[in-house]
Amino acid sequence: VDLRYSESDERFRAELRAWLSTAVPSLPPKPGPHDWDARRKYDTTWQKMLHEAGYAGINWPAEYGGRGASPTEHLIFLEECERAGAPYVGVNFVGLLHAGPTLIAEGTSEQKAAHLPKILSGDEVWCQGFSEPGAGSDLASLQTRAVRDGDHYVVNGQKIWTSFAHVADFGELLVRTDPEAPKHKGITWLILPMDAPGIEVRPLRTIAGSSEFSEVFFNDVRIPVENRVGEENDGWRVAMVTFSFERGTAFVGELLHSARLVENLAQIARKIPRGEGTVWDDAGVRRELGHIAADLDGLWHLTKRTITESERTGVPGIGGSIFKLYYSEVRHKLGDLAIRILGTAGLSHEDVAEMPAADHVRGWIHAMSISIAAGTSQIQRNILSERVLGMPKEPS
Amino acid sequence: VNFDLDADERALQGGIRDVCRGVFPMEKVRAMESGLDRAAWRALSEAGVFSLRVSEDQGGLGLGMTHAAIVFEELGRALVPGPLVGTHCARTLSIEEEIVTMCARGDAFVDHLGDADAVATVDADGVWLISKSEIESVPVPQPLDPLTPLNAVKALAQGKKIADEKTATAISLQAPVLISAFLVGIASAETDLAVAYAKDRQQFGRVIGSFQAIKHICADMLTRAEVARAAVYAAAVHLDGNGDGDTARAVNGATLLASDAAFLNGKACVQVHGGMGFTWEIDAHLYLKRATALSAFLGGADEHAEAMAAYL
């Protein structure tokens, strides 16, 4: 075991830090949370800058236009981007972290050529059409139907929780192609062009007040058969490939941001008056903050163990589920504590009276999505107890 | 960055695990309520548990804290009783007495005094060796952990200085990591024990491990143990000089997570066993009580949480 960075790791870090120090300040001001066209432009502008500097698709293989960085360099990339206050993936999330890696693993050479370069250059934004109103945790029971008609699939049905649907060019779509087969055996993975006739996108207002997600309705939408990724009725397996990327390092960037939130909250606690002093004088509050800091440190060490494993085996292991379950709990603890510390200063989505509360209020609400999205904490516990501890499986 | 155990580390882990299985099966561990077994203690000594960090030219294995953490995790998994950390630290300072218990000067209690051949005490000025006759103490009736006998200290002699303040400072970081590694072993053993029972025990016509109410408790146990293990190994690596951050912070965080994991998993293990978990016969309480004793020796979770806050 050796947690030190090698000389070449440190060279990579120094070059990246130098580039970020000029690139980040050159960005235009961040758009408001509700201006979706501006958000797409902002996030794709950053993606273009990364692309031109050779950092796009940091962990994608070089033969597909990625940087081909090692998992350790990937960690350094996330560390330095957070330190520099660089934008996170934003609307490029699905393309860079799910759809792209899935196409690399399972796509045809035509599909790779058509999409991978544009995802990397910020010219193509993707969304995810997996969940349905009746298929959440039980995703394999999805009902959106695709019927073969010559060289097209004709799709009817409804998806929900489709992130960035209203600004996306393409979507990853799971459809039922064989309703007679057992539920895991009749699903197909399709590339959905968002400009196809018959698609209706209705933004869904979340408890955060914004509309990151949409409902997407399909009315005789024709999708060419050549858009199929993997074989017909083999889509569940392809989706599992997608999920392994989703649970791998997708939350690590957030972890570093969370560590910053804790430090910031400690500063806020020193400013909020209570009695003769401040909230920071309360040993209970300090201990809760200290505990959360230890939890986040522990998760950082766990991440290093997980990436060492994936460096050796080539796939993100079960560490992803352990990470996500624990991380969700810590973010709930952090958010709840922030709301208690802020008191009335936390009653707005924006900073009030020079108190930098907005990040914490949004963070508190965000925490409630972390323990639900990408497999609820309850589903993660099923996965861990069944796959690691060998306990009996849930009925499927 | 490499978090994998190398071939030597894995061999050490397997070797110690075998020694523990052979010499410290649970019925032998339980029998040590009436006192440590010197033959079993010597088996640990021969396996290098105490001389692990002694240099090779002094007859030791010349290894570091990372290896020691691997070994102490295995000792914890087997719930090996005795002043293991004290004897390990004493041997590292060339103290040859067979069983050495250790406390900080000012501690109200010292453990395993009856079995010990000597006492090592750490204070701000250094490390001191005190003979048993120089301690005035009273045995604690019915210690919470039947395998951690305690004496209430009335008076402690100054003793003979065996190491300087620099060494004392080093021990004050090393000992918590060894205890934390032991606690991680306990946290894992508690998980294994609960899972094994849940796969066997039937109610409502099915094994209770098929109910999510039980599975989810076990998944949380696994998660706590794994995060704590990563933190403890990282702390040990920091003490070996191969870390990437603040050493004292890494030690503090590891101590906190390991204390929590062993304590909470111990309670969960009792709960998963239901009524049986409340019996003396089931081992769950022995793990929980040891975890509670060791966490108390470490100063308690509140103290570590407060220490972490100092970094914010």
Query: Which pLDDT tens digit goes with each residue over A184-229?
Result: 999 999 999 999 999 999 999 999 888 889 999 999 999 999 999 9
Amino acid A258: pLDDT: 96
**Cα B287 to chain centroid, rounded:** 11
ipTM: 0.95
User: For A349-368, b where at least 16 C-beta lie within 10 A, e where not — what string?
Assistant: eeebeebebebbbbbbbebb
- The pLDDT of residue B288 is 98
| pLDDT the model gives residue B3 | 85
Structure confidence at residue A249 (pLDDT): 66
| Per-residue model confidence (pLDDT) at position A353 | 72
What pLDDT, on a 0 to 100 scale, did the predictor assign at position B285? 98
Nearest to A302 among B6, B227, B249 (CB): B227
Q: Does A312 touch chain B (CB under 8 A)?
A: yes
How big is chain A by its Cα radius of gyration, in Å? Answer: 22
Strand partners, A150: none
pLDDT of residue A247: 61
Q: Residue A316 has what pLDDT? A: 64
State the DSSP string of A231-293.
STTBHHHHHHHHHHHHHTTTTHHHHHHHHHHHHHHHHHHHHSEETTEEGGG-HHHHHHHHHHH
Does residue A232 carry a catalytic annotation?
no
| Chain-chain contact of A4 with B1 (C-beta, under 8 angstroms) | yes
Q: Which residues on chain B are in Cβ contact (under 8 Å) with A282?
A: none
Q: What is the mean pLDDT of chain A?
A: 93
Contact A381 B9 (CB under 8 A): no
Q: What is the pLDDT of residue A221?
A: 98
Nearest neighbour of B209 by CB, restricted to A75, A301, A392: A392
The two three-digit tokens of residue B21, written as one number: 């299985």
> CB-CB: which of A3, A9, A291 is closest to B237?
A3
A1 at B interface, C-beta within 8 A: yes
Find the catalytic residue in A212, A246, A254, A288. A246
The helix (H) or strand (E) run that includes residue B302 is helix B301-309
d(Cα A5, Cα A15) in Å, to the nearest integer?
Answer: 15
Residues 6+ apart with CB under 8 A from B14: none
pLDDT of residue A315: 66
| DSSP-assigned beta bridge partners for residue A375 | none
Nearest chain B residue (CA) to A298: B231
pLDDT in tens, A254-280: 899 999 999 999 999 999 999 999 999
Low-confidence stretches of chain B (pLDDT < 70) are none
Whole-number Å distance between alpha carbons of A25 and A37: 22
Chain-chain contact of A72 with B1 (C-beta, under 8 angstroms): yes
Nearest residue in B to A377, CA atom: B216
Helix A7-23 vs helix A71-83: crossing angle, to nearest 10:
30
Q: Given this model, what pLDDT does residue A320 score?
A: 84
Token digits of residue A43: 């996030």
Residue by residue, pLDDT tens for chain A (396 residues) are: 888 899 999 999 999 999 999 999 999 999 988 889 999 999 999 999 999 999 999 989 999 999 999 888 998 999 999 999 999 889 999 999 889 999 999 999 999 999 999 999 999 999 999 999 999 999 999 999 999 999 999 999 999 999 899 999 999 999 999 999 999 999 999 999 999 999 999 999 999 888 889 999 999 999 999 999 999 999 999 998 877 766 656 677 889 999 999 999 999 999 999 999 999 999 999 999 999 999 999 999 999 988 888 777 766 667 888 999 999 999 999 999 999 999 998 998 888 777 789 999 999 999 999 999 988 999 999 999 999 999 999 887
Pick the residue from chain B with its C-alpha nearest to A304: B3
pLDDT of residue A184: 95
For residue A338, give Cα distances in angstroms to A26, A293, B157. 32, 14, 49
Confidence (pLDDT) at A118: 97
How far is it, in rounded angstroms, from Cα A382 to Cα A329? 16
> What's chain A's length in residues?
396
Amino acid (one-letter) located at A381: R
Q: What pLDDT score was predicted for residue A308?
A: 84
* A384 interfacial to chain B (CB closer than 8 Å): yes
Q: Where are the beta strands (DSSP E) in chain A?
A: 126-129, 145-149, 152-163, 170-176, 187-193, 199-204, 213-224, 228-229, 273-274, 277-278
Q: Do B312 and A3 touch (CB under 8 A)?
A: no
Of chain A residues 252-281, which have a CB less than 8 A from chain B? Answer: 262-263, 266
Cβ atoms of A326 and B227 within 8 Å: the answer is yes
Stretch 4-23 of chain A: residues touching chain B, C-beta under 8 Å = 4-5, 9
**3-state SS, residue B138:** strand
Residue A237's pLDDT is 94
Q: Which residues of A175-185 are buried (b: 16+ CB within 10 A; e: fewer)?
A: bbbeeeeebbe
